[in-house]
């Protein structure tokens, strides 16, 4: 609040003595506190109440120049096992980045390094320009985290858990918290031990989102949620982006990443193998083509950029990298009855990097 304790007490006495200026000043104080001056018998009583309120915190300032996340040569090894290898990644503010990779690729290791929960073997990481190893507490003030596996206090109620996690973080939008409780259809009066896995996941999502943190680090955030709650989560991420928040999303649900993310980073065996927009990745990957012909399917093996073709009677399926014109000329000679082409889905892009054997993001 703008007034000091001594000033508030003095204003109360002056207002009760008929000082209009002091009265209007206390009306402003009441507006800051969200209370009705008529609820207090005297201006001194209102001033006394205002004195008892905790002082408002200064607004959290976001770094202007630094990106939300920057890693340089970030590496982590456990003996001979390389969990993360020389990660160079930059995530600008307000971006939603999808972070993909099979189990054991290094996704959770990356998040733990960003949070300063483990020490890197080499390299460094920053959150809004703050070194996460040198000053993790300062970095955490800008961050909210949803872990892949949630461990909460079983004897606390949902409301008590939200209150405790809010106090730990230090920044909570109370009105938004209550809105989230309704949107996620959570009963906060129940004890955590009575919650299903899905409800525990709702609880930790609400705890993260209610902070309005500059950066949301989300590790498999929709695990256990039903489709309706997944949709609510997607809406909340979209709203966070509109507010200027940054989201780092590690998810097994490729459709979720495809729907939400501005860019996608693909990790394999601890190494970053691809990063870019979905459109950029599609340009690097083959177009899927299927054609039904009037005549015999021609030999496509020597056409540049055509591969993976399958022939079933007069129907041919193939993949095309590069210009389509050579393929179209060859097919036209046989007479094209019907043809479709489509860009690869995120799942197909992912499989292109991993093959079918270990492709479990």
Contacts of 121 (CB under 8 A, 6+ apart): 75, 76, 77
C-alpha to C-alpha distance for 72 and 86, rounded to whole angstroms: 7
Report the pLDDT value the prediction gives residue 360, as an integer from 0 to 100. 42
State residue 233 phi and psi, 5-degree precision: -60, -45
Give me the pLDDT at residue 16, please: 80
* Domain 69-280: assigned CATH number: 3.40.50.300
pLDDT at 171: 86
Q: Tally Cβ neighbours within 10 Å of residue 78.
A: 10
Q: Which long-range contacts (CB under 8 A, 24 or more apart) does 230-233 make?
A: 230/256, 232/183, 232/184, 233/205
What ranges do the domains of the chain cover?
5-52, 69-280, 286-343
Instruction: Specify the fold of 286-343.
Output: Alpha-Beta Plaits (3.30.70)
Q: What is the DSSP string of 104-136?
A: TSSHHHHHHHHTTSS--SEEEEEETTEETTT-H
pTM for the full predicted model: 0.68
* Sequence-ordered list of residues with C-beta below 8 angstroms from that of 322, at least 6 positions apart, any chain: 304, 305
pLDDT tens per residue, the chain (361 residues)? 444 444 777 777 887 887 766 765 766 676 666 666 666 778 777 778 777 766 544 444 444 578 999 999 999 999 999 999 999 999 999 999 999 888 888 999 999 999 999 999 999 999 999 999 999 999 999 999 999 888 899 999 999 999 999 988 888 999 999 999 999 999 999 999 999 999 999 999 999 999 999 999 999 999 889 999 999 999 999 999 999 999 999 987 778 888 899 999 988 889 998 898 877 776 656 778 999 999 888 988 888 888 888 899 999 998 888 788 889 999 998 899 899 988 766 666 666 656 544 444 4
Do the domains 286-343 and 69-280 match in fold?
no
Task: List, as one string, the DSSP characters of 333-358.
Answer: HH-EEEEEEEPPPHHHHHHHHHTTTS
Q: What is the DSSP letter of 208?
A: H
> Would you state the pLDDT for residue 55?
54
Local structure of 250: helix, strand or coil: strand
Decide if 13 contacts 44 (C-beta within 8 A). Answer: yes
């Amino acid at each position: 609040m703008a007034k000091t304790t001594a000033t508030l007490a003095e204003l109360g006495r002056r207002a009760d003595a008929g000082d209009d200026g002091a009265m209007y000043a206390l009306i402003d104080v009441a507006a800051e506190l969200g209370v009705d001056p008529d609820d207090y018998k005297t201006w001194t009583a209102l001033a006394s109440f205002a004195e008892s309120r905790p002082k408002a915190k200064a607004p959290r300032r976001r770094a202007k120049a630094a990106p939300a996340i920057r890693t340089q040569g970030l590496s982590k090894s456990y003996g001979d096992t390389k969990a993360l290898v020389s990660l160079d990644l930059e995530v600008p503010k307000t971006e939603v980045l999808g972070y993909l990779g099979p189990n054991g690729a290094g996704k959770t290791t990356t998040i733990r390094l960003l949070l300063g929960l483990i020490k890197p073997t080499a390299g460094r990481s920053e959150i809004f320009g703050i070194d996460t190893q040198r000053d993790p507490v300062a970095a955490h003030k800008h961050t909210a985290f949803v872990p892949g596996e949630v461990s909460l206090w079983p004897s606390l109620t949902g409301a008590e858990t939200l209150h405790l996690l809010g106090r730990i973080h230090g920044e909570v939008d109370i009105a938004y918290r209550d809105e989230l409780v309704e949107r996620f259809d959570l009963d906060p009066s129940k004890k955590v031990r009575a919650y299903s896995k899905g409800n525990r996941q709702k609880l930790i999502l609400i705890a993260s989102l209610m902070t309005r943190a500059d950066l949301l680090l989300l590790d498999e955030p929709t695990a256990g949620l039903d489709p309706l709650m997944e949709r609510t989560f997607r809406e909340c991420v979209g709203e966070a982006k509109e507010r200027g928040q940054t989201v780092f999303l590690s998810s097994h649900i490729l459709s979720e990443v495809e729907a939400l993310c501005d860019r996608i980073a693909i990790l394999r065996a601890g190494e970053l193998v691809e990063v870019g927009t979905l459109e950029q990745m599609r340009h690097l990957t083959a177009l899927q083509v299927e054609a039904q012909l009037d005549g015999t399917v021609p030999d496509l093996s020597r056409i540049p950029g055509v591969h993976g073709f399958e022939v079933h009677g007069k129907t041919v399926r193939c993949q095309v990298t590069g210009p389509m014109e050579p393929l179209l000329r060859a097919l036209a000679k046989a007479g094209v009855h019907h043809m479709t082409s489509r860009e690869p889905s995120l799942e197909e892009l992912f499989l292109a990097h991993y093959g079918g054997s270990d492709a479990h993001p």
